[in-house]
């Protein structure tokens, strides 16, 4: 049986399309209106809400909770103070990424981890003699992402905490009489918040948020708009940008944190003494510089794209719908004997950047921003290559994302 | 490119409208020390945003990015300076009987929406747009390049003519026939070939009369329709967008880009005369007597002002003077802009907002629009005007205070010249006519109105300098297009005065916020400088 989220009763009434996908066994709207671009622009320009409740949620608590997480997660949880949140990864013992998630630290001894895939068994196996309890509380909470430049004004009308909350901070708050956790987190690369609420209060806080956002043009947005937003934001997605290393068949399908573009998470790993799963392999990779790939953005040369299409008798296509498959990057055009130097995992036409852009992995020697690569595309059923250049991630990074006010 | 003279400026652009800014940006990018002179206190010309009432941003004149060429966005690096087009994925067309046609981003839903009105028209919708796409594809190279000088005799001109003939020779014969039907025929003939339902016809006819003294049944209206289909946003032909902050937001982006390339913009500087010596331009004189020297002067003004105001017509060939005097500039468009206390309510769509995500088209049938045109033929405004409206604050919440809205209404027909009255006397009565039409489709509309601004063709002329308030700086009539725009022999951005160029909408390809005249003129200027 397909499940529904705590917000479903209200959000489904706002969905004029009846288009859903299945996200970890839950109905998840692809879009709410005929035009996912409406929803995309609401987030880049006003405010949108996204139901992110299907994420798995684990409460991890006990006197050894910090010690436990410090030994499991690649990013040092000891640097996360109560009231802060960490985006983090966990790896297998070979230093390959399994999954990612966000940890909210509530106190010295209590954490809440959200994850895209179930992970209780793996975590529980690693507890050993530590005094820590891990509880799957996934069904007990709804999470409402409220994202966009007007998200702060919308939420501040309900909770004064929204006004002062720093990037990746969180705070307990109340919407009406319903207790919530308000965090300055999200998956859009814009100013944004997430509201975690007990399932029984989900509808009342959703109503309050929609009401507070009405004068700001608030709209629910679906997965199609989310994909556009997260690619611009340079945020990788499991089973698109990488696969859980424990479920992959070959090392080609595995990436290390550094290869995934998360080298910044590994502060202290090279020289520190924190033991965690995969540490030795990751340390060797850092010391010996053996990373096979560098994650980069790519930006297609617009003139080459237009010229190739027009010469082929086609209108230059500019689709905001991400490609559903990977594409290959070469060092030179294939007609000039190019050989592969990378691959593109996500690709679409960004309305904000007015360019075809993508998330890609290239050999480290091709990673310097502005390096020329040649992207394989099919025109009139024939493969050819179009010029592109590597770019720093995130591709779109407005100051408001992290600014205080 | 190195500088061409000893003064502080290599090039002076007269007029800071969008084409003047585009031209200046390209010239500055090429290394010319470029000065833009704008008579008003802000750049933008007819593409401005003004806070008429505190908190409410009005797009006083032009209100959408219709046809801006994508290469200009990239070549001038506009995204870095804040270029942000907000796509308008829907078109809303009340059918006059309480029903509506609402088209959006979902093709299958659009087909069903058409089919709701006419089963016959459902598949015609696809054919109609595909046939138009093929025509656009065929003439796009003509649109994006300077017209050949078919009267020129030198090898370069003859090579251009050969290019044109070769290109036309490669066009499929049905497509070529469609091109001619569109360039010469009426929109109603073209549209009725595909659609039978009056509302579906009316919807498709709306772009055939914009800014032009034609009705949809007049020969020539199909040309206006085609021109508006040449627009291209995000890979979709004929799609339109709002710029963040309105069209004034866009021209501010252009100004930043031009300045980043080194151009200087001087506001409040009205050019009185283009100075010439021995058939060459040597600079300009401002109305305060200041003289500024440059060996290149570019007019972004319309052809009347470019040739007859800034120059002494006695210095020009008489056929050019005759032709510019003969050129048609009959403005028929007005704006009625509203500050609203809330969203209007369309009774058949209560409580929803999606139909306000794009244009609202009030011209239910071809006959309705043609009747609106009738009055204009005899020097009067429409009793029930055609309205092309947009509630921009739905897409861009920063344009109005929370919960409030701004509504831009482009209203036709409002002829520049009224018979036995004048626009000062008729302004508010005309505003009332437009408002009454809105009231009939959106009952209770009047109660939402916090402020109303009526912009007549006379206002357009007075503020922007566009002759007779013609928004295209010269009507879209076949004898005023391509190598006849603005005048035979002078379609390549040059003038009879050496060093004096034209880059406004009165040159090829023409009006709308398109940027091509400014860009193509810069190419001509830079080539001439390299050759000299």
Q: What is the DSSP string of B141-188?
A: HHHTSPPP-TT--SHHHHHHHHHHHHHHHTS-HHHHHHHHHHHHSBHH
Band of residue B351 on the pLDDT scale cut at 50, 70, 90 = confident
Output the CA–CA distances (angstroms, integers) from residue A170 to A103, A111, A140, A194, A199, in the order listed: 11, 12, 19, 9, 19
**Is the confidence at residue B354, as pLDDT, over 90?**
no
Share of chain A above pLDDT 70, in %: 100
CA B77 distance to own-chain centroid: 22
Contacts of A313 in chain B (CB under 8 A): 137
3-state secondary structure B505-517: CCCCCCCCCCCHH
Share of chain B above pLDDT 70, in %: 97
Q: Given A215, A315, A353, which is nearest B79 (Cβ)?
A: A353
**Is the confidence at residue A264, as pLDDT, over 70?**
yes
Question: For residue B237, what pLDDT is reported?
Answer: 61
CA A152 distance to own-chain centroid: 20
Question: For residue B88, what pLDDT is reported?
Answer: 78
Sign of CA dihedral B253, B256, B261, B265: positive
What is the C-alpha to C-alpha distance for residues A210 and A219, in angstroms, rounded to an integer? 8
**Is the confidence at residue B49, as pLDDT, over 80?**
yes
Question: For residue B239, what pLDDT is reported?
Answer: 64
Q: How many CB atoms are closer than 10 A to CB A19?
A: 15
**Is the confidence at residue B4, as pLDDT, over 60?**
no
B104 vs A: CB within 8 A: yes
Q: What tokens does B123 get?
A: 């598949």
Q: Give the full edge-to-edge strand order of the sheet including B359-362.
A: B100-103, B91-94, B359-362, B386-390, B405-412, B333-340, B449-455
DSSP letter, residue B8: S
Question: For residue B531, what pLDDT is reported?
Answer: 84
Name every residue whose Cβ is closer than 8 Å to that of residue B54 and which is 6 or more positions away in sequence. none
Least confident of A35-39, A297-301, B236-240: B236-240
Question: For residue A33, what pLDDT is reported?
Answer: 92
A316 vs B: CB within 8 A: yes
Name the percent of chain A in helix, strand, coil, to the closest 5: 30, 30, 40
Contact between chains at A351 and B85 (C-beta distance less than 8 A):
yes
Peptide bond into B486 cis (omega under 30): yes
Band of residue B233 on the pLDDT scale cut at 50, 70, 90 = low
Give residue for tokens 């005065």: B497
Output the CA–CA distances (angstroms, integers) from residue B335 to B227, B416, B469, in the order listed: 21, 13, 11
Q: How many CB atoms are closer than 10 A to CB A134?
A: 21
Of A310, A267, A312, A288, the closest CA to residue A364 belongs to: A288
Q: What tokens does B209 get?
A: 């009369």
Angle at B90 between CA B88 and CA B94, to 5 degrees: 130
B137 vs A: CB within 8 A: yes
Average pLDDT taken over every residue of chain A: 96
Q: What is the DSSP string of A274-317?
A: ---TTHHHHHHHHHHT----EEEEEEE-HHHHHHHHHHTT----
Question: For residue B58, what pLDDT is reported?
Answer: 97
Contacts of A37 in chain B (CB under 8 A): 87, 89, 105
Contacts of B235 in chain A (CB under 8 A): 315-319, 349
Is residue A400 within 8 Å of A345, Cβ to Cβ?
no
Residues pairing with B386 in the sheet: B412
Least confident of A243-247, A304-308, B67-71, B219-223: B67-71
Dump strand ranges (E) for A204-300.
219-220, 294-300
Least confident of A323-327, B43-47, B65-69: B65-69
The average pLDDT across B199-227 equals 96
**Is the confidence at residue B238, as pLDDT, over 80?**
no
Peptide bond into A394 cis (omega under 30): yes
> How close A364 comes to chain B (CA, Å)?
27
Share of chain B above pLDDT 90, in %: 89
The average pLDDT across A85-107 equals 98
Of the two residues B105 and B485, the one the predictor is more confident about is: B485
**Is the confidence at residue A324, as pLDDT, over 70?**
yes
Contact between chains at A303 and B71 (C-beta distance less than 8 A):
yes
Q: Domains of chain A, with CATH numbers?
A: 8-56+139-221 (3.30.1360.120), 294-391 (2.40.30.110)
Question: For residue B506, what pLDDT is reported?
Answer: 97
Contacts of A388 in chain B (CB under 8 A): none
Residues 385-414 of B with CB under 8 A from A: 393-398, 402-403
Contacts of A17 in chain B (CB under 8 A): 106
Contacts of A216 in chain B (CB under 8 A): 397, 402
Question: For residue B236, what pLDDT is reported?
Answer: 65
Contact between chains at B397 and A317 (C-beta distance less than 8 A):
no
CA B200 distance to own-chain centroid: 24
The average pLDDT across A372-401 equals 97
Question: For residue B234, what pLDDT is reported?
Answer: 58
Strands B280-286 and B271-277: antiparallel
Of A363, A349, A400, A342, the closest CA to residue A231 belongs to: A349
A46 vs B: CB within 8 A: yes
Contacts of A46 in chain B (CB under 8 A): 397
Contacts of B405 in chain A (CB under 8 A): none
Dump strand ranges (E) for A97-218.
97-105, 110-115, 133-136, 141-147, 170-175, 178-183, 192-198
Contact between chains at A45 and B236 (C-beta distance less than 8 A):
no
Question: For residue B152, what pLDDT is reported?
Answer: 86
Q: Give the DSSP H or E segment for B370.
A: helix B366-377
Question: For residue B5, what pLDDT is reported?
Answer: 55
Q: Say how many CB pairs under 8 Å bridge A and B.
A: 83
Q: What is the DSSP string of A59-102?
A: EEESTTHHHHHHHHBSS-GGG--TTBEEEEEEE-TTS-EEEEEE
Band of residue B232 on the pLDDT scale cut at 50, 70, 90 = low
Q: What tokens does A258 get?
A: 């550094």
Residue of B105, B257, B403 for testing the chain A interface, max A β-carbons within 10 Å: B105
Q: How many CB atoms are closer than 10 A to CB B260?
A: 15
Give counts: helices (H), strands (E), chain A: 10, 19
Reported ipTM: 0.91
Of A146, A158, A138, A140, the closest CA to residue A51 belongs to: A146
Is residue A7 within 8 Å of A207, Cβ to Cβ?
no
Residues pairing with B65 in the sheet: B241
Share of chain A above pLDDT 90, in %: 96
Give residue for tokens 């009347």: B304
Residue of B106, B397, B401, B406 for testing the chain A interface, max A β-carbons within 10 Å: B397
The average pLDDT across B143-158 equals 91
By CB neighbour count within 10 A (0-12 exposed, 13-18 middle, 19+ buried), where does A337 fall?
A: exposed
Which chain A residue shows the shortest CA-CA distance from B170?
Answer: A313
What is the C-alpha to C-alpha distance for residues B296 and B57, in angstroms, rounded to an integer? 36
Strands B500-502 and B296-299: parallel
What is the C-alpha to C-alpha distance for residues A170 and B287, in angstroms, rounded to an integer? 61
The average pLDDT across A208-235 equals 97
Question: For residue B230, what pLDDT is reported?
Answer: 84
Question: For residue B418, what pLDDT is reported?
Answer: 97
Question: For residue A385, what pLDDT is reported?
Answer: 97
Contacts of B73 in chain A (CB under 8 A): 354
The average pLDDT across A54-78 equals 98
The average pLDDT across B422-432 equals 98
Question: For residue B1, what pLDDT is reported?
Answer: 44
Question: For residue B3, what pLDDT is reported?
Answer: 46
Band of residue B6 on the pLDDT scale cut at 50, 70, 90 = low
The average pLDDT across B241-249 equals 94
> How close A32 comes to chain B (CA, Å)?
11
Give residue for tokens 């706002």: A14
Q: How many CB atoms are closer than 10 A to CB B114?
A: 24
Q: 0.90 exceeded by the pTM?
A: yes
Question: For residue B532, what pLDDT is reported?
Answer: 63
The average pLDDT across A347-376 equals 97
What is the C-alpha to C-alpha distance for residues B14 and B39, in angstroms, rounded to an integer? 9
CA A187 distance to own-chain centroid: 5
Contact between chains at A37 and B83 (C-beta distance less than 8 A):
no
The average pLDDT across B202-230 equals 94
Give residue for tokens 């975590």: A123
What is the C-alpha to C-alpha distance for residues A248 and A99, in angstroms, rounded to an integer? 12
> How close A318 comes to chain B (CA, Å)?
5
Helix, coil or strand: residue B91: strand
Output the CA–CA distances (angstroms, integers) from residue B176 to B134, B140, B221, B480, in the order listed: 10, 13, 18, 20
């Amino acid at each position: 049986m397909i499940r529904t989220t705590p917000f479903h009763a209200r959000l489904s009434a706002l969905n004029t399309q009846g288009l859903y996908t299945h996200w970890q066994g839950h109905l998840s709207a692809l879009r709410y209106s005929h035009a996912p671009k409406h929803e995309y622009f609401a987030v880049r320009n006003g405010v949108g809400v996204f139901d992110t409740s299907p994420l798995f949620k684990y409460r991890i608590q006990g006197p050894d909770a910090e010690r436990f997480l410090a030994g499991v997660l690649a990013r040092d949880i000891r640097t996360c103070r109560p009231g802060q949140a960490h985006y983090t990864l966990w790896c297998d013992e070979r230093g390959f990424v399994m999954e990612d998630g966000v940890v909210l630290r509530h106190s010295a001894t209590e954490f809440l981890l959200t994850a895209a895939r179930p992970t209780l068994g793996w975590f529980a196996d690693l507890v050993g003699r530590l005094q820590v309890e891990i509880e799957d509380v996934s069904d007990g909470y709804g999470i409402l992402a409220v994202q966009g430049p007007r998200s702060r004004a919308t939420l501040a009308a309900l909770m004064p905490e929204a006004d002062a909350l720093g990037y990746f901070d969180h705070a307990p708050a109340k919407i009406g009489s319903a207790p919530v956790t308000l965090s300055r987190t999200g998956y859009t690369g814009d100013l944004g918040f997430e509201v975690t609420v007990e399932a029984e209060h989900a509808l009342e806080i959703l109503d309050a948020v929609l009401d507070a956002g009405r004068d700001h043009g608030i709209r629910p947005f679906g997965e199609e708009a989310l994909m556009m937003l997260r690619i611009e934001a340079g945020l990788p997605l499991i089973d698109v940008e990488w696969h859980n290393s424990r479920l992959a068949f070959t090392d080609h399908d595995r990436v290390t944190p550094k290869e995934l573009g998360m080298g910044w998470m590994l502060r202290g790993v090279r020289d520190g003494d924190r033991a965690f799963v995969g540490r030795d392999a990751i340390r060797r990779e850092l010391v010996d510089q053996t990373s096979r790939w560098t994650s980069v953005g790519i930006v297609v040369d617009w003139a080459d794209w237009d010229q190739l299409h027009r010469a082929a008798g086609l209108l230059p296509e500019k689709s905001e719908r991400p490609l559903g498959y990977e594409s290959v990057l070469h060092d030179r055009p294939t007609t000039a004997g190019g050989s592969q130097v990378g691959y593109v995992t996500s690709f679409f036409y960004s309305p904000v950047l007015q360019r075809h852009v993508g998330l890609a992995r290239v050999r480290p020697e091709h990673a310097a921003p502005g390096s020329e690569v040649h992207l394989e595309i099919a025109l009139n059923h024939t493969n050819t290559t179009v010029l592109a250049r590597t770019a720093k991630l995130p591709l779109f990074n407005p100051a408001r994302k992290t600014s205080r006010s | 490119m190195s500088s061409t003279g000893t003064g502080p400026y290599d090039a002076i652009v007269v007029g800071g409208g969008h084409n003047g800014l585009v031209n200046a940006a390209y010239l500055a990018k090429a290394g010319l020390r470029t000065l833009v002179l704008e008579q008003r206190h802000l750049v933008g010309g007819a593409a401005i945003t003004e806070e008429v009432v505190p908190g409410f941003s009005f797009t006083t004149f032009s209100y959408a990015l219709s046809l801006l060429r994508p290469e200009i966005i990239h070549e001038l690096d506009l995204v870095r300076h804040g270029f942000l087009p907000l796509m308008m994925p829907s078109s809303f067309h009340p059918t006059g009987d309480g029903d509506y046609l609402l088209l959006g981003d979902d093709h299958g839903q659009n087909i069903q929406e058409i089919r709701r009105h006419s089963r016959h028209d459902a598949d015609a919708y696809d054919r109609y747009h595909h046939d138009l796409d093929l025509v656009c594809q065929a003439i796009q190279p003509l649109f994006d390049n300077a017209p050949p000088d078919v009267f020129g005799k030198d090898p370069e001109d003859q090579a251009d003519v050969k290019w044109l003939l070769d290109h036309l020779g490669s066009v499929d014969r049905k497509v070529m026939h469609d091109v001619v039907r569109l360039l010469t025929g009426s929109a109603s003939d073209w549209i009725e070939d595909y659609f039978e339902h009056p509302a579906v016809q009316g919807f498709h006819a709306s772009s055939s009369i914009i800014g032009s003294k034609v009705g949809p049944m007049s020969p020539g209206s199909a040309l206006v329709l085609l021109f508006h289909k040449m627009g291209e946003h995000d890979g979709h032909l004929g799609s339109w967008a709002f710029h963040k902050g309105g069209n004034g937001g866009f021209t501010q982006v252009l100004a930043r880009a031009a300045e980043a390339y080194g151009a200087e913009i001087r506001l409040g500087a009205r050019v009185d005369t283009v100075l010439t010596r021995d058939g060459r331009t040597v600079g300009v004189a401002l109305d305060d007597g200041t003289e500024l020297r440059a060996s290149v002067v570019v007019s972004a003004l319309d052809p009347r002002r470019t040739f007859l105001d800034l120059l002494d017509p006695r210095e020009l060939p008489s056929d050019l003077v005759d032709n510019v005097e003969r050129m048609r500039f009959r403005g028929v468009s007005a704006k009625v802009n509203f500050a609203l206390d809330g969203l209007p309510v369309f009774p058949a769509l209560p409580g929803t907002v999606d139909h306000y995500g794009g244009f609202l088209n009030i011209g239910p049938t071809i006959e309705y629009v043609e009747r609106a045109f009738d009055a204009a033929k005899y020097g009067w405004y429409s009793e029930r005007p055609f309205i092309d409206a947009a509630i921009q604050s739905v897409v861009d919440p920063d344009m109005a205070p929370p919960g409030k809205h701004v509504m831009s209404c482009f209203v036709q027909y409002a002829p520049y010249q009224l018979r036995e009255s004048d626009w000062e006397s008729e302004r508010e009565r005309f505003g009332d006519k437009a408002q009454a039409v809105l009231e009939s489709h959106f009952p209770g509309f009047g109660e939402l109105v916090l402020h109303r601004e009526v912009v007549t063709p006379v206002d357009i002329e007075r503020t922007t300098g566009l002759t007779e308030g013609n928004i295209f700086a010269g009507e879209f009539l076949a004898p005023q297009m391509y190598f006849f725009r603005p005048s035979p022999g002078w379609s390549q951005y040059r003038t009879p005065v050496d060093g004096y160029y034209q880059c406004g909408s009165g040159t090829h390809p023409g009006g709308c916020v398109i940027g091509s005249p400014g860009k193509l003129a810069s190419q001509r200027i830079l080539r001439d400088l390299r050759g000299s």
